[in-house]
Structure 1
Amino acid sequence: MISGKRVFTVGVYDLLHIGHVHLFRRASKLGDYLIVAVQESDVVARFKPDANLVYSTEERMYMVKAVRFVDEVVSYRDVNDIVREVDFDIFVVGPDQTHSGFKNAIQWCRDRGKEVVVLPRTEGISSSWLKEQIKNM
């Protein structure tokens, strides 16, 4: 059993970049143990058909786990399910994670006394931007 505050965040993390590392660093400072959930590839492909993932779920989990700020990595299909399955105290989301699934998950957290923290994105970097830069090289 992990003592202290458990922090939890979710995402795709396909092209791991400095913005992701900043997110993990900032999230880890909110508690004592950081859990990151990586969305499974088939779900990403279904809901974001233009995403064109580079890495498999397992590869993305491996890369995220290699970041020193991350203590544990799990995979997930739906944010509404994973918030009910993982033991955590603080749910960290980004300002762009606003679709109905996130709204429901955030409400579920608040109804159970879990803290919800919105961390801003790192300006000037995103996976979409990075893919565009690579394509134009």
Structure 2
Amino acid sequence: MKRCLAVGVFDLFHYGHLRLFKQIKQKEKNSKLIVAIQKDAFVFKYKPQIKLFYNENQRKEILNSIKEIDELIFYTEVNQIVKEVEFDIFCVGEDQIHKGFEEAILYCKSKNKKILRIKRTPHISSSDIREYLNHQKYNSNEIWG
């Protein structure tokens, strides 16, 4: 059985996250999906201005209810977790392009691990939700969606 690894913060869980997991399971039938949740301290390290709505344990509880996910773990940095976990396929969203992901992908390629790029779900992202919620503070007549 192939083991797939996907990583992320997964704060403000939304439809795009769910589609990510469903796409992985659809493309890699009969695989085991391991999802790594970034620990709070490291989210703040890279995005000190961010306000997390859920702490890492709450995010884990939310993700634990998703049937496509077979195992949940925590991680600190993406270029390290790929060296610590046993997996065959690294599943990467097309928007996951920062230096840590570049290093992780290079490492995976050097170890002959498959890279599975997943397209984003159009018109939805955690950044969009945050922007909308911030806008709502000033204009309460709009409805999301």
Q: TM-score range by the shorter chain?
A: over 0.9
Compute the displacement of 1:111 (Å). 0.7
Once the two structures are superposed, the pairs formed by residues 1-137 of structure 1 within 5 Å of their partners are 4-29=1-26, 30-31=28-29, 32-135=31-134, 136=136, 137=140
Compute the displacement of 1:7 (Å). 0.7
Compute the displacement of 1:46 (Å). 1.5
Unpaired segments of 5 or more residues in structure 2? 141-145
Compute the displacement of 1:84 (Å). 1.0
Unpaired segments of 5 or more residues in structure 1? none
Identity across aligned pairs (percent)? 40
AA paired with 1:78? E
Tell me which stretches of 4 or more aligned residues in structure 1 moved more than 4 Å: none
User: Secondary structure of the residue that 2:63 maps to in structure 1?
Assistant: helix
Compute the displacement of 1:20 (Å). 0.2
User: Secondary structure of the residue that 2:122 maps to in structure 1?
Assistant: coil
User: Secondary structure of the residue that 1:91 maps to in structure 2?
Assistant: strand
AA paired with 1:24? F
AA paired with 2:62? M
Q: Distance in 1 between matches of 2:17 and 2:43?
A: 17
CA-based RMSD: 1.1
Q: TM-score, normalised by structure 2?
A: 0.88
Which structure's CA Rg is the greater one? 2
Compute the displacement of 1:40 (Å). 0.5
Compute the displacement of 1:64 (Å). 1.1
Q: Distance in 2 between matches of 1:68 and 1:95?
A: 23
Q: TM-score, normalised by structure 1?
A: 0.93
Task: Count residues in correspondence.
Answer: 134
User: Secondary structure of the residue that 2:74 maps to in structure 1?
Assistant: strand
